[in-house]
Amino acid sequence: MVKITPIPAFQDNYIWLLHKDGHAVVVDPGDAAPVIRFLKQNHLHLDAILITHHHGDHIDGVESLLNVYPAMVYAPAKEHYSFPHIAVSESTEVHLANLNLSFQVLEVPGHTLGHVAYYGSNYLFCGDTLFGAGCGRLFEGSPEQMYHSLQRLAALPAETAVYCTHEYTERNIEFALTLEPNNQNLIIRAQSSREQRSQNKPTLPSTIALELATNPFLRCAVAEIQSSSKTNSSLPVNVFTAIRQMRNQF
Ligand code: ZN
Ligand code: FE
């Protein structure tokens, strides 16, 4: 069995570390120090680094990690990276032999234009595209692109475990409750997230099923969200555009 551990970094980032039989893979190491500490403490060798997009809080630890471990780096083909890497794009298969895992690359533009997600064995590493009860900001892509990307993730099997890279769940739920105050699943999730955070535990991973039930950005066809979005249109993509805008001001 592969073990998956969140390594907290900065204010609210998680660097997800997967390991099995002494071999490890990290996703989006924005900082090398806590990763190296964990690898040494647990006597692990770093085999590979998976990158979802080019923001500093996801890549700034790569060079330092490569100085210590000769790891293979996988990063989106549509973005520029100064470290050596294998460029991945839609349908690229990333095979992690020592972990006995294979991930398929999904291009999910929106937060950045080249953003990718890694999906396989019921795990999804989605970077800053999908968050617990929320989604990433549109720094580079259009609302249409992000909406389409989120729809692709929403179509993955319900039991898929969702590993997001930020702990934003509680704040996202506060916002979601302004749109859907009577969503029972959301009310329950608010309670459990509060408990997890009060014990300093991550609210992640989530699941696609939980996101479908509580994440307003995956629920743009729901009548209550349409009316809360105050758009005249009932087109889900227009509702998405409106509530993403509202979240920016929240
Ligand atoms: Zn980002
Ligand atoms: Fe980020």
- CB-count exposure of residue 198 (10 Å: 0-12, 13-18, 19+): exposed
What is the 100 CA–ligand 2 centroid distance (Å)?
28
Quote the pLDDT of residue 82.
Answer: 97
What is the 1 CA–ligand 2 centroid distance (Å)?
28
Quote the pLDDT of residue 227.
Answer: 96
Quote the pLDDT of residue 19.
Answer: 98
Number of the ligand closest to the Cα of 15: 2
Beta strand segments in 63-212, E: 72-76, 86-88, 93-96, 101-107, 116-120, 123-127, 130-131, 134-135, 161-164, 206-207
Number of the ligand closest to the Cα of 57: 2
How many CB atoms sit inside 10 A of residue 133's CB? 29
Q: Which residues contact 122 (CB under 8 A, 6 or more apart)?
A: 157, 159, 160, 161
Helix (H) / strand (E) containing 185: helix 184-198
What is the 57 CA–ligand 2 centroid distance (Å)?
5
What is the 71 CA–ligand 2 centroid distance (Å)?
22
What is the 10 CA–ligand 1 centroid distance (Å)?
13
Look up the CATH number of domain 3-168+198-207: 3.60.15.10
What is the 165 CA–ligand 2 centroid distance (Å)?
6
Distance CA 248, CA 69 (A): 39
Helical H segments across 33-168, by residue range: 33-41, 56-59, 62-68, 143-154
Quote the pLDDT of residue 234.
Answer: 87
Number of the ligand closest to the Cα of 138: 1
What is the 179 CA–ligand 1 centroid distance (Å)?
25
Q: Which residues are placed with Cβ below 5 angstroms of ligand 2, an ion?
A: 57, 128
Number of the ligand closest to the Cα of 141: 1
Q: What are the residue ranges spanned by the domains of the chain?
A: 3-168+198-207
Q: What are phi and psi of 54, to 5 degrees?
A: -85, 5
- The first and second tokens of residue 230, run together, are 């105050």
Number of the ligand closest to the Cα of 112: 1
What is the 223 CA–ligand 1 centroid distance (Å)?
30
Q: What is the pTM of this model?
A: 0.98
Number of the ligand closest to the Cα of 27: 2
Quote the pLDDT of residue 118.
Answer: 99
Number of the ligand closest to the Cα of 28: 2
What is the 247 CA–ligand 1 centroid distance (Å)?
16
| Residues in the chain where the model's pLDDT stays below 50 | none
Distance CA 17, CA 24 (A): 7
Distance CA 78, CA 88 (A): 8
The amino acid at 188: I
